[in-house]
Chains A and B, each alone.
Chain A
């Protein structure tokens, strides 16, 4: 029962927040939901398959860009899923050359891709004469909250479930030893591609929701490396081998940032960096690795 506790607590909290009746609470809840959704998606690729993505902001930014560009052209209930789909396709297409790069080179490549896409978007925007975009008439934060909650739940469910599927098992084997995994019949190219694409769908939709929330899009912000960095830190601190990890990691840092961001944003980031390094060296399995130590089979 204790193993399911985090899920229950977060689910209950998620449904309770709107009843508090405060815009501030909704804002925090939105943030928390966002980070949970992003981090859960990240661990599908980077936790389970072992392909660490240092540039996950690219999916967030692409989704935001799509929603912003199609604002008032396509209704939101269509543009959000489409943002996810288009980002999925993007990931699948670039995965052809990208997933052939292994080890640490893949890691820095993901960073380079995020930056490259950012600058391409900046170029495209400037060719339209735009440097940033404002949206008007976006949905209320209350409505957006429910969408984000749904995304967070979906991402958590996916991250939890995948572990028990044949696909998830294949990913774990790929993480352990890709060549050996191939030698037992796991279709590594197909699975890696699928993991890569899957890990981008929900972040894209999250990006879209956040664009609607802030009414604002600016490439430097949407593709900010700090987004990628924060995802990684939450995953490592919470535990990247467990669907409960992102819940804990996101909660910890969302509340930390609520306390520090307004007054000392640089201080907050410095703390983030220090905690990340400390956890990598001392507690690489994160908080979840401590509270729920893996014992025996977990698939």
Chain B
């Protein structure tokens, strides 16, 4: 069974800086793959390469068997990959419903009529818990809610693969739990495959089927949470020793 996303020996140089070197991993349909690593390890860069914001310096990225290297970011989204941004980028002057509704009109969905898109948008807003605020402007939200909106917007595009970039950063423990629950609900409802970058390790271990650990642009370990948590290399460079 071919993986949904196949990242093959991908490298990325920025001038003289090697952000990613020879990184390979794959993601099967329906999986949740967590990505971890210290700041600067290359996680967001990896996302940017997959989503088409940057072009890899080397290697191949296959989505459902098709290479997406060199495609524009919007074309890649239409193919079925969506992402959130590490620093949220809301449509400030648009309402929550409009933000999600517009996403439903574009992206990977087969062209939906206006009312269908509105219904879908309303449903997604409901799952993320923002239904009551749907007519408020995005700029008025708290950070936690803006992160939920960002997730809702990404899902609304009808993507099969959703990449979440530190959606829990800055959230209180209770908000983290809520976000985890939202992610699970959305995954189940829309049959999603997810790659998730997080520093909140407990949450990541909790929700992921497998974990990829990056360090200085290279893969250090790939495996199930238990395996990775005991891997000596991982303990050495990222997790620290712990009983």
CA gap between A9 and B243 in the complex, in Å:
78
**CB nearest to A187 among chain B residues:** B74
Bound state CA distance, A138 and B95, in angstroms?
A: 50
Q: Are A186 and B106 in contact, CB atoms less than 8 angstroms apart? A: yes
Report A-chain residues with C-beta under 8 Å of the C-beta of B135: 296-297
Is B91 within 8 A of A185, CB to CB? no
Q: Does B187 contact A (CB under 8 A)?
A: no
Give Cα distance in the complex from A186 to B98, angstroms. 14
Q: Is B108 interfacial (CB-CB < 8 Å)?
A: yes
Nearest CB of chain B from residue A170's CB, rounded to whole Å: 7
Q: How far is the CA of A183 from the CA of B101 in the complex (A)?
A: 14
A182 x B91 contact (CB < 8 A): no
Enumerate A169-206 residues with CB–CB distance to B below 8 Å: 169-170, 172-173, 176-177, 179-189
Known contacts A184-B153, A188-B74, A297-B98; is-contact A176 B105 (Cβ 8 Å):
no
Choose among A169, A173, A296 the residue that contacts B95 (Cβ–Cβ < 8 A). Answer: A296
Q: Mark B171-215, 1 if CB is under 8 A from A, else 0.
A: 000000000000000000000000000000000000000000000
Is B140's CB within 8 Å of the partner chain A? no
**Interface pair B102/A170, CB less than 8 Å apart:** yes
* Interfacial residues of chain A within 127-141, with CB under 8 A of chain B in the complex: none
Does residue A290 face the partner (Cβ distance < 8 Å to B)? no
Partner of B102, one of A172, A188, A189, A296: A172
A183 and B85 contact, CB distance less than 8 A: yes
**Residue numbers in B under 8 Å from A169 (CB-CB):** 98, 101-102, 105
Chain B interface category by residue count: 20 to 34
Cβ-defined contact, A182 with B74, below 8 A: yes
Q: How far is the CA of A272 from the CA of B72 in the complex (A)?
A: 43
Is B221's CB within 8 Å of the partner chain A? no
List, in ascending order, chain A residues with CB within 8 A of B8's CB: none
Interface residues on A, range: 20 to 34
**Contact call A185/B107, Cβ cutoff below 8 A:** yes
What's the Cα separation between A182 and B153 when bound, in Å? 12
- B91: chain A residues within 8 A (beta carbon): 172-173, 176-177, 180-181
Most chain B CB within 10 A, of A179, A180, A181, is at A180
Q: Are B83 and A185 in contact (CB under 8 A)?
A: no
Q: Contact between B77 and A176 (Cβ–Cβ < 8 Å)? A: no
Smallest CB gap from B156: residue in A = A184
Given the complex of chains A and B, what is the CA–CA distance between A296 and B98 in angstroms? Answer: 9
B95 in contact with A184 (CB, 8 Å) = no
Q: Is B89 a contact of A184 with CB atoms below 8 Å?
A: no
- Could you tell me the distance between the alpha carbons of A177 and B91 in the complex, rounded to whole angstroms? 6
In the complex, what residue of chain B is closest to A190 when comparing beta carbons?
B74
Nearest neighbor of B89 in chain A, beta-carbon distance: A180
- Cβ–Cβ contact B103 & A184, under 8 A: yes
What CA separation (Å) do A34 and B166 show in the bound complex?
51
Q: Which of A172, A180, A189, A297 contacts B97 (CB 8 A)?
A: A297
- Residues from chain A with Cβ under 8 Å of B53 in the complex: 179, 183
**Bound CA–CA A82/B75 (angstroms):** 33
Would you give 24 A-B contacts (Cβ < 8 Å), ordered by A? A169-B101, A169-B102, A169-B105, A170-B106, A173-B94, A176-B90, A177-B91, A179-B89, A180-B91, A181-B91, A182-B73, A183-B73, A183-B82, A183-B83, A184-B77, A184-B102, A184-B157, A185-B78, A185-B157, A187-B75, A296-B95, A296-B135, A297-B95, A297-B135
Known: A169-B101, A184-B153, A297-B135. 12 other contacts (CB 8 A): A166-B106, A170-B102, A172-B94, A177-B89, A179-B89, A182-B72, A183-B82, A183-B154, A184-B82, A185-B103, A186-B74, A297-B98
Identify the B interface with A (CB < 8 A): 51, 53, 72-75, 77-78, 82-83, 85, 89-95, 97-98, 101-103, 105-108, 135, 153-154, 156-157
